[in-house]
């Protein structure tokens, strides 16, 4: 077989494969068109669906894992006789001190249980003592260098305040941890309800506690942007819900439409009971972007799926590549082997070997 015949044979095989693919694709399209005849058309979108310039607000936010709460301890007064601990803050006032070295203000109880009154007066051990016992110890210490000092000691801030104040992640079991004060269940509560629940829990250890609670991160309410990948796999993006997202801003979060994306977009809204789809909201992408229309720039709600359909030509091209690829490899190996055999025969006929 000459090289010309091989080229003609390869060309004929390619034409046959192409004709078969065209026949299959035409049959597939016909089948899809036949299926679409039985599809029930979507109901019209209600005019009161929230959209740009007509946004709605959600009900009070229910806390859920993995939200993050910001808790601030406003009033933290221990019950009964308080015993001073490291990292407590004491308010110490003293008279009769050296004018250039006054003692007045907050002093932190260090990790070794002492308060440092400055380079002139030194440190005093106060951990494990009541406030009155701490006052007596400081007074006795100052009398070593002063004639007649007078000392007052009060509690400025407790170590427990540091365990309460700060950012608290809602654990998978719905609780937050307040250090030595234990765990508090807050899942399913509003911010105000969580405040009252935390205060009621702290009342076991503190005298009339008061805290401020706010949301630091809304992590439990999310929505999705799904980009069909034209046969290469879909891409799914999840974003925390902030309350003002629209279709346009959602697409902006994924840096716009991809090369394989079409302009056919819709919002799939889950049913409240979690079964099936509650609403399908078709989006007019050109009207939103080119015309500045807000009619289909819907407000995205928690759980929504903003779906961007693939370009069918890219999908078809990918499908053709997947179908032809095995045949191309087989034909490539076959032609390579045939060409090698023909070259060997040609060399032998002309009296030329490989070496």
**Chunked mean pLDDT (size 10), the chain, 355 residues:** 46 50 45 39 70 90 95 85 88 93 94 93 93 94 92 85 90 94 95 97 91 94 91 87 93 89 90 74 92 93 92 72 72 75 72 50
Tell which CATH architecture fits domain 68-76+161-217.
Answer: 2-Layer Sandwich (3.30)
How many CB atoms lie under 10 A from the CB of residue 173? 9
Class of domain 89-156: alpha beta
Q: Where are the domains of the chain?
A: 68-76+161-217, 89-156, 221-318
Give pLDDT, residue 26. 46
User: How many whole angstroms separate alpha carbon 267 and alpha carbon 48?
Assistant: 15
Contact 126/109 with Cβ under 8 angstroms? Answer: yes
- What does pLDDT average to over the chain? 82
Residue with tokens 């045949």: 327
Give pLDDT, residue 276. 66
Class of domain 221-318: alpha beta
Domains 68-76+161-217 and 89-156 alike in fold: yes
Give pLDDT, residue 207. 86
Classify residue 148 by burial, with Cβ atoms within 10 Å: 0-12, 13-18, 19+.
exposed
Contact 242/218 with Cβ under 8 angstroms? Answer: yes
DSSP code per residue over 237-286: EEEE--S--BHHHHHHHTTS--TTEEEEEEEEEE-TTSSSEEEEEEEEHH
């Amino acid at each position: 077989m000459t090289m010309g015949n091989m080229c003609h044979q390869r060309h004929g095989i390619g034409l046959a494969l192409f004709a078969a693919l065209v026949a299959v694709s035409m049959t597939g399209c016909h089948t899809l068109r036949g299926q679409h005849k039985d599809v029930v058309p979507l109901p019209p979108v209600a005019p009161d669906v929230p959209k740009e310039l007509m946004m709605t607000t959600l009900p009070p936010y229910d806390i859920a894992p993995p939200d993050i709460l910001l808790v601030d301890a406003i009033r933290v007064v221990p019950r009964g006789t308080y015993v001073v601990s490291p990292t407590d803050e004491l308010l110490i006032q003293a008279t009769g001190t050296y004018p250039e070295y006054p003692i007045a203000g907050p002093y932190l109880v260090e990790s070794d249980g002492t308060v440092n009154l400055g380079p002139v007066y030194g440190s005093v051990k106060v951990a494990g003592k009541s406030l009155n016992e701490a006052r007596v110890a400081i007074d006795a210490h100052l009398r070593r260098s002063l004639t007649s000092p007078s000392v007052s000691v009060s509690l400025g801030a407790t170590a427990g305040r540091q365990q309460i104040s700060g950012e608290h992640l809602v654990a998978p079991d719905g609780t937050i941890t307040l250090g030595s004060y234990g765990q508090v269940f807050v899942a399913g509560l509003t911010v105000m309800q969580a405040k009252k629940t935390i205060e009621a829990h702290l009342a076991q250890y503190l005298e009339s506690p008061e805290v401020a609670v706010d949301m630091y991160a809304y992590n439990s309410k999310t929505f999705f942007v799904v980009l069909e990948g034209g046969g290469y796999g879909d891409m799914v993006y999840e974003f925390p819900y902030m309350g003002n997202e629209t279709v346009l801003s959602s697409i902006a979060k994924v840096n716009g439409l991809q090369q394989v994306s079409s302009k056919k977009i819709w919002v799939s809204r889950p049913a409240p009971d979690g079964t099936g789809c509650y609403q399908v909201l078709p989006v007019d992408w050109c009207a939103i972007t080119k015309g500045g229309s807000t009619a289909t720039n819907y407000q995205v709600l928690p759980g929504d799926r903003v779906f961007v359909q693939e370009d069918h030509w890219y999908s078809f091209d990918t499908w053709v590549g997947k179908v032809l690829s095995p045949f191309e490899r087989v034909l490539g190996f076959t032609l390579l082997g045939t060409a090698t055999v023909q070259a060997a025969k040609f060399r032998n006929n002309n009296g030329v070997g490989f070496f």
